[in-house]
Amino acid sequence: MKRVTLLGAAVLDHRVWVDEWPPVRRRTRATAYVEDLGGPAAVAAATVARLGVAATFLGLRGEDAAGARVAGFLEAYGADTRRLTVCVAATTAVSSIVIVPGGERFIVSYPGEGLRDDARWVPVDALDDADAVLVDSRLPRAGAALAAAARARYLPVVMDLDVDAPDVWALVGAATHVIADEDLANRLGGAEALLARLTSGGAWGAVTLGARGAVHADGRIPAFPVRARDTTGAGDVFHGAFVVALVEGRRAEEALIFASAAAAVRCETGRLPERRAVEALLAAKPRGGD
């Protein structure tokens, strides 16, 4: 079985749905509530496992109930958590998320405390049976250590880029495939400018555009039109599905299409996608126009 090693943030999400936004009173009743896994690399790891590829997750959690819940979710989704490091006296990252009519979400995140971003805790031997690596922007120093070791082994390194910071750009330099989000692109002069910057650094690049699909240096991938229930984590699912497609032998442009279908299933159902649902959407092939 193919295996992906993923390193980055693990978060406990608390998601509520509301019928009215913005609220007009100080108290607003939620119509639904879910506690679930969050964090770019953690959700990507769960996605990889759900899609039938082995996933080894490297990350940090606190010595608390939230951290135990994060580990439990990862295990329930099928990810290998033996390298999930418990930081003594630390607190796990958590997020409160409000999902409004139409599926858009508003996130209030708490990054946790005592979760150290450095190379000392990174178990490089987790690459011994890996076919690819995925890193996110949340732990760039640890990610850079893993990415450098992966490049030395000629493994592809996929990066989820959504933060503009020197440590993060150092990690970008170690990646082979970088997929950035639209918000970051807008802050840096637009998708074309960001793609040019990624290409000049030697990476294959793409930018996700939500319902408008994704762009890369050679074109655009339209999105699959679905009625969104919850867009939370759609980008994380996109990255996880992209690396699955890569290790299964798809070209990067084909991997974007597979990833777009997986993210669409996530938005429509509010759950992490299973392989059969993604394949069914790919077989139907109704995507938005250019």
| Share of residues in the chain with pLDDT > 90 (%) | 91
In this structure, is residue 290 part of a structural domain? no
Report the predicted TM-score, pTM, of the whole model to 2 decimal places. 0.95
In this structure, is residue 48 part of a structural domain? yes
Q: Determine the average pLDDT of the residues in 210-223.
A: 92
CATH of the domain at 173: 3.40.1190.20
Q: Determine the average pLDDT of the residues in 195-213.
A: 94
In this structure, is residue 152 part of a structural domain? yes
**Among 167, 42, 47, residue whose Cα is nearest residue 95:** 42
In this structure, is residue 257 part of a structural domain? yes
Q: Which of 17-26, 62-71, 271-280 has the lowest mean pLDDT?
A: 17-26
Give the domain extent around 172: 3-19+33-284
Query: What pLDDT does residue 290 have?
Result: 43
In this structure, is residue 24 part of a structural domain? no
Q: Determine the average pLDDT of the residues in 223-234.
A: 90
Structural domains in the chain (count): 1
Spell out the alpha helix ranges (H) of the chain.
40-50, 65-77, 140-152, 166-172, 182-187, 191-200, 234-247, 252-269, 275-284
In this structure, is residue 26 part of a structural domain? no
In this structure, is residue 108 part of a structural domain? yes
Query: What pLDDT does residue 6 have?
Result: 98
Query: What pLDDT does residue 118 have?
Result: 94
In this structure, is residue 187 part of a structural domain? yes
Q: Would the pLDDT of 193 be above 90?
A: yes
Q: Determine the average pLDDT of the residues in 192-220.
A: 94
Q: Which of 133-142, 175-184, 228-237 has the lowest mean pLDDT?
A: 228-237
